[in-house]
Amino acid sequence: MKYLKQFLIIIGISFLGEVIHHFIPLPIPASIYGMLLLFLLLEVRIVKPEHIRETCTFLIQAMPIMFIPPGVGLLEKWGYIDDIWLPLIAALAISTIVVMAISGWVTQLVNRAIHKKDQEELS
């Protein structure tokens, strides 16, 4: 029953993201609205991490399985990709490097801020 409750909370927030997407005509996917809404609800403590922890852990562990259908779909459409595979690989490589660099930079900024806050608390 606990998992059902947690899953319903996540699905409810996802549904609210779909509703927001319907009323705000921006080119932003509904899933992004849902993630932002979940973040805000977690920040203001309306939803506590323990309310959704186990189900989120399961969904994260199952995430690699979710990439199998798109991969098979790409293989089925290889005839369309055959002409552009080199630029596609280049774009994927460059975007991966950029995302890794930005993620590392943001992580360093957050770690510095946490370290600075800890030092101020000790003083």
Q: What is the DSSP string of 71-91?
A: HHHHHHTHHHHGGGHHHHHHH
Instruction: Tell me if 30 sits within 8 A of 21, measured CB to CB.
Output: yes
Q: Among residues 33, 37, 72, which one has the least CA distance to residue 52?
A: 37
State whether 58 and 91 are in the same domain.
Answer: no
Predicted confidence at residue 79, as pLDDT, reads 84
State whether 2 and 61 are in the same domain.
Answer: yes
State whether 49 and 94 are in the same domain.
Answer: no
Mean pLDDT, all residues of the chain:
92
Q: Work out how many domains the chain is built from and give that number.
A: 2
State whether 14 and 64 are in the same domain.
Answer: yes
pTM value? 0.62
Predicted confidence at residue 119, as pLDDT, reads 85
State whether 52 and 88 are in the same domain.
Answer: no
Last residue of some domain: 69, 87, 105? 69
- More confident position, 77 or 90: 90
Percent of the chain with pLDDT over 70: 100
State whether 57 and 85 are in the same domain.
Answer: no
State whether 99 and 54 are in the same domain.
Answer: no
Predicted confidence at residue 78, as pLDDT, reads 82
Q: Among residues 13, 100, 10, 18, which one has the least CA distance to residue 57?
A: 10
State whether 65 and 93 are in the same domain.
Answer: no
State whether 56 and 81 are in the same domain.
Answer: no
Question: Is residue 123 over pLDDT 80?
Answer: no
Domain that holds residue 118: 77-123
Predicted confidence at residue 25, as pLDDT, reads 83
55 contact partners, CB below 8 Å, separation of at least 6: 3, 6, 7, 10
Convert the pLDDT of each residue in 89-116 to its tens digit: 999 999 999 999 999 999 999 999 999 8
State whether 97 and 41 are in the same domain.
Answer: no
